[in-house]
Amino acid sequence: MNKMWKTLIIDDEQLARQRLTRLLKPYDDIDIIGEAVNGQDGLEKIEKLQPDLVFLDIEMPVLNGFEMLSLLKHQPKVVFTTAYDQYAIKAFEEDSIDYLLKPVETERLEKTIKKLQQFQHQPPVYLPLETLIKQLHVKKDIKTLTVKIGDKILLIKLDSIIYIEAEDKYVFLHTADGKKHLTDFTISSLEEKLPEAFVRIHRSYIINSDHIKEIRKSFNGAFVFVMNSAENTRLTSSRSNGEALRERFGI
């Protein structure tokens, strides 16, 4: 690249920010000048730091990525990072905006860096906000999730997943055969990506409602979900999800 890009990373997930920072480190022309943890924080830091380039998550608390962009005075180049699939974000390919699917891969990031050089002298162009949001909320009917084991990539069928668990910095897929698969996805990105059968009951758990054996009431409005696994796994919902779960399951 012909210039040094002052770069800001905006994402509410710490692991996503750390991963992107690590992947950008080999690029001498990328100068990471800061991070922001939500749309409002990003808005303030963009106006203060005046970056040339922003890696921007779409779904964030306070302000989402598009809401933040609509309020900016300083207009940097933007690379969106998103858990949405390629079908939903096809519109990005028709503009000078680029996008990265989470979890970000090294090879795809390299293409983005090359694209930045190509469009460095053009002003940023955005499709109409309303159109983008509608397109991004279209979910493709995915059937599998990928899991890397060494040099192998396994395709895990969604209907075999009983529940998903976030444990410290890791996210695991628990399947009907009793296995536990480590995935590169964050639990929040999976919540957005997966079809309606998958329900977030707790900050650490997403369950496949097709594998629920029993639902039991617990204390303070929480529920215990007994899953149809060999161990009859019991997962307790958070109290904050109680009302949504009562409505979802009619309990």
| pLDDT tens track for 23-32 | 999 999 999 9
Taking the model in full, what pTM does it have?
0.50
Pair 55, 7: CB distance under 8 Å? yes
| pLDDT tens track for 24-70 | 999 999 999 999 999 899 999 999 999 999 999 888 877 888 788 88
One-letter identity of residue 26:
P
What's the distance, Cα to Cα, between the start and end of the chain in Å? 58
| pLDDT tens track for 160-180 | 999 999 998 899 999 999 999
Residue by residue, pLDDT tens for the chain (251 residues) are 456 899 999 998 898 999 999 999 999 999 999 999 998 999 999 999 999 999 998 888 778 887 888 888 888 888 888 776 543 454 354 343 577 877 888 988 998 888 887 766 665 554 444 455 455 554 556 788 988 888 788 899 999 999 999 998 899 999 999 999 999 888 888 887 888 899 999 999 999 999 999 999 988 889 999 999 989 999 999 988 888 898 888 88
Looking at the chain, the whole-number percentage of residues with pLDDT higher than 90 is 44
Q: What are phi and psi of 164, to 5 degrees?
A: -120, 135
Residue with tokens 């050089």: 117
Q: What is the pLDDT of residue 3?
A: 66
DSSP state of 137: T
CA–CA separation, 47 and 44 (whole Å): 5
- Which of these, 41, 49, 92, lies nearest to 71 by C-alpha position? 41
Pair 171, 185: CB distance under 8 Å? yes
